Amino acid sequence: MFINYKVKDPSNGRLIGITGTIVKIDKVMQMFFDRRLGESGYYYAVNNDGLIQMHPNKEYILKNKVKELDGNFPVLAKGEGNKFRITRYTSAVDHQDYIIAAEYLPELEWTVIGKISVKESFAQLTKILHFSIFISVVVLLLALIVTFVISRRFRHRIGEMTNNMTKFMSFISKEIDAHDIELRRTSICDELGNMSNEICDSAEYVQELMSTQNLLRTEIEKNTFEIIDKNKKLQALSNQTIYALASAIDAKDSYTRGHSLRVAQYSRELARRMGKTEFQQEEIFNVALLHDVGKIAIPDNIINKPSKLTDEEFALIKSHPVKGYEILKDISVMPNLYIGARWHHERYDGRGYPDGKAGKDIPEIARVICVADCYDAMTSDRSYRKALPQNVVRSEIEKNMGTQFDPEIARIMLEMIDEDREYMMRGIITVHSSRYADIR
């Protein structure tokens, strides 16, 4: 490879020459051939024109551009800026969903890209979680077994001490009955000496057992802390992945940036006012973040179309709940993620889609997200209209209680609107969770 450096006149900045060097990149090429991301993910590199410079498949190198392999490839692969970036996209070639990370190398004018499918990424998270749970169970079982063995041995020694004491009392009783205490004094003293030795031995054994228990407790605490730390890292990775997907969803619609996060926050506040626990509030927050994940599979020109949709285009838009369900249904780390994606467009009167569920048959999480989603839709600018006035939004929610919305959840949303006298709640993103503040 030839690496050049432009030499300019310091006085006027004019180019006066180019110097450079030729370097061998065999080892670098081998790294791209050998390094993998899971079962099917891999690394490759492109220049500023999108021409492939390094790739596990040697046939692509210096012969193909990245758009010929991946079609609608994200902007981050074009080498703009020099920061690490991560996003999600759907390949126009194989129609699969991928997560990609990229970093620009200004010295080479290359962008190095790592690419892995969404399903495999979540499958790896599931394996890590299952391994952590397995280690926790093994450590707990070992602790129970050791404690059981120690307690049995301790009870055995106490039983021996009790039997010896019983024998001693029986011996004393016999000596008194025989009226020969003076003659047996030496035997009694010997027996007392043996009893004293037994008690000392038992005390030393108990002390040894206590020391062993302390060591075991310390080891269990150490392993527990390590498991907790791994679980925290796994949770952070899961949250970052969810947030990256939510950002990728909102990026498709230029008029609704931040929609997923606002719906998630409205949903969490509704859950809080419904008396849900903090864990349940965080769960509904995560589910609401990905309620529109199916829109990733909808073409941008349809999502951003300013005029009325055709019947075919509207049918395609209505397919996004099922597409979102297909993306999220196999994620066992967070098994309820798909609920919001599939059923947030169901109506309380049963006239919604895609399944026509009604009333309490619609999962409660989806009923909450439905109210939050409609509130944000009405209070946000769209390609075909401006945000609605607050009194119109309130009237629409009140009018559709019991038809489109769960009446109890809609009542809570009306309370939130009435408290928002200055109409400040719409479009405001306030991150209450420290986890998502760190991510942002």
Q: What is the pLDDT of residues 18-32, one digit of tens each?
A: 877 776 777 767 777
Q: Which residues contact 112 (CB under 8 A, 6 or more apart)?
A: 43, 44, 45, 102, 103, 105
Is it true that the peptide bond before 106 is cis, omega within 30 degrees of 0?
Answer: no
CA angle 383, 325, 327 (to 5 degrees): 90
Q: What is the identity of the amino acid at 118? A: V
Instruction: Report whether pLDDT(129) > 80.
Output: no
Which pLDDT value is given to residue 71? 63
What residues are paired with 114 via a beta bridge? Answer: 43, 101
pLDDT band at 334 (very low <50, low <70, confident <90, very high): confident
Instruction: Please report, rounded to a whole number, the percentage of residues in the chain having pLDDT higher than 90.
Output: 27
Which pLDDT value is given to residue 412? 97
| Residue pair 242/328 in contact by the 8 Å Cβ criterion | no
pLDDT band at 356 (very low <50, low <70, confident <90, very high): very high
Which pLDDT value is given to residue 433? 38
Looking at residue 256, the DSSP 8-state letter turns out to be: -
Which pLDDT value is given to residue 431? 40
pLDDT band at 430 (very low <50, low <70, confident <90, very high): very low
Which pLDDT value is given to residue 357? 97
Q: Which residues contact 208 (CB under 8 A, 6 or more apart)?
A: none
Which pLDDT value is given to residue 391? 95
Looking at residue 115, the DSSP 8-state letter turns out to be: E
| Residue pair 261/247 in contact by the 8 Å Cβ criterion | no
Looking at residue 91, the DSSP 8-state letter turns out to be: -
Instruction: Report whether pLDDT(228) > 80.
Output: no
Residues 145-166 pLDDT 10s: 877 777 676 666 666 666 766 6
Give the count of alpha carbons within 13 A of 387, CB side only. Answer: 16
Alpha helices in 118-184 (DSSP H): 118-177
Q: How far is 268 from 365, CA to CA, in rounded Å?
A: 10
Instruction: Report whether pLDDT(178) > 60.
Output: no
Q: Which residues contact 133 (CB under 8 A, 6 or more apart)?
A: none
Instruction: Report whether pLDDT(438) > 50.
Output: no
Instruction: Report whether pLDDT(366) > 50.
Output: yes
More confident residue, 47 or 218: 47
Closest by CA to 440, choosing from 231, 264, 205, is 264
pLDDT band at 436 (very low <50, low <70, confident <90, very high): very low
Residue extents of the structural domains in the chain: 122-236, 252-439
Q: What is the identity of the amino acid at 176? A: I
Instruction: Report whether pLDDT(403) > 80.
Output: yes
More confident residue, 192 or 284: 284
Task: Give the CATH H-level superfamily of domain 252-439.
Answer: Hypothetical protein af1432 (1.10.3210.10)
| Residue pair 143/213 in contact by the 8 Å Cβ criterion | no
Instruction: Report whether pLDDT(429) > 50.
Output: no
pLDDT band at 121 (very low <50, low <70, confident <90, very high): low
- Average pLDDT over every residue of 38-63: 79
pLDDT band at 432 (very low <50, low <70, confident <90, very high): very low
Closest by CA to 339, choosing from 362, 366, 320, 371, is 366
Which pLDDT value is given to residue 323? 92
pLDDT band at 106 (very low <50, low <70, confident <90, very high): confident
More confident residue, 173 or 75: 173
More confident residue, 198 or 423: 423
Q: What are the CA-CA distances from residue 202 to residues 148, 190, 394 (Å)?
A: 19, 18, 78
Q: How far is 177 from 171, CA to CA, in rounded Å?
A: 10
CA angle 308, 311, 317 (to 5 degrees): 80
- Report the chain's mean pLDDT, rounded to a whole number: 77
- Average pLDDT over every residue of 329-343: 87
Tokens 């527990």 correspond to 224
Whole-model pTM: value is: 0.50
Which pLDDT value is given to residue 183? 46
Percentages (nearest 5) of helix, strand, coil residues in the chain: 60, 15, 30
Which pLDDT value is given to residue 405? 97
- Average pLDDT over every residue of 239-258: 67
More confident residue, 294 or 199: 294
Residues 85-104 pLDDT 10s: 677 767 766 777 777 777 77
pLDDT band at 3 (very low <50, low <70, confident <90, very high): low
Residues 60-78 pLDDT 10s: 888 777 777 666 565 555 4
Q: How far is CA 384 from the centre of its chain?
A: 35
3-state secondary structure 238-253: HHHHHHHHHHHHHHCC
- Average pLDDT over every residue of 174-190: 55
Instruction: Report whether pLDDT(222) > 80.
Output: no
Which pLDDT value is given to residue 380? 86
- Average pLDDT over every residue of 41-69: 79
